[in-house]
Amino acid sequence: MKIDILSLFPEMFDGFLNTSIIKRAIDSQIVEVNIHDFRKFADNKHKKVDDYPYGGGQGMVLMCQPIVDCLKTITTSKSFVILMSPQGQTLKQSISVQLSKYEHIVIICGHYEGFDERIRDYVDMEISIGDYILTGGELASMVVCDSIIRLLDGTIREISHEDDSFSEGLLEYPQYTRPYEYDGNCVPDILLSGHHENIRKWRLKQSLLKTYHKRPDLLQNKELTKEELKILQEIKEND
């Protein structure tokens, strides 16, 4: 996969691209990530990329010319262009999985008060990472990239992300490691039983229990199996 990111602050990505799993994926040529300073594409003497909004108003608006000209140098018919925007779809695991299938993704990071509306004519999807405002799209784009790259073959073991929270529409079950007992708190004995089916059932129940208490909204949109419906009913009766 190839990822191109348009930003006014390329230096913000230095740590992100040179640390941990993301760096290993790049070094292993699983993914190629390029950062483009779209200020270099401004066609005015002072390399200005923003201006006051027509009609008045507070703040500055990014001009379409530098961004669109930058896009034209890197996009092809196979490119999928994403605009980081608080007006976009909220990022979910299902969206990350969908995006991980593309050969080439381009992400546009904004700054200032907003974008010239005409930039949206060159965009395939708008994504938000939550209902709040950041100073720019750089941090949000890193979140999107991380959520995609970890899904690519070879980045991490596939089994490691198959049970992630949201992968099956539920929060992940509790995880434990050594020591068995710490500060009077012990690992549930069922996890040491070696009985795989009982462990699976316990994990499913715990996953439903966490989701019911922490994110009940997820259950409204999930098509539950007969087993899950039965367990959820027991949880509600005992709550």
Q: What is the pLDDT of residues 27-54, one digit of tens each?
A: 999 999 999 999 999 999 999 999 999 9
Asked about 113 being catalytic, the answer comes back as: yes
Active-site residue (options: 69, 126, 164, 168): 164
Q: Token digits for 191? A: 């996890």
Active-site residue (options: 150, 163, 172, 174): 150
**Roughly how many angstroms between the first and final C-alpha of the chain, as a whole number?**
46
- Residue closest to 71 by CA, chosen among 60, 61, 79, 63: 79
Q: What are the Cα distances from residue 10, in Å, to 45, 79, 92, 159? A: 21, 21, 26, 33
Express each pLDDT in 61-86 by its tens digit: 999 999 999 999 999 999 999 999 99
pLDDT at 160: 54
Active-site residue (options: 37, 69, 113, 146): 113
Residue 135 in contact with residue 111, Cβ under 8 Å? yes
pLDDT of 111 > 80? The answer is yes
**159 or 33, which is more confident:** 33
Asked about 86 being catalytic, the answer comes back as: yes
d(Cα 120, Cα 116) in Å, to the nearest integer? Answer: 8
Active-site residue (options: 4, 50, 66, 86): 86
Instruction: Report residue 221's pLDDT band, with 50, 70 and 90 as the boundaries.
Output: confident
pLDDT of 145 > 60? The answer is yes
Q: What pTM did the predictor assign?
A: 0.88
Instruction: Report residue 161's pLDDT band, with 50, 70 and 90 as the boundaries.
Output: low
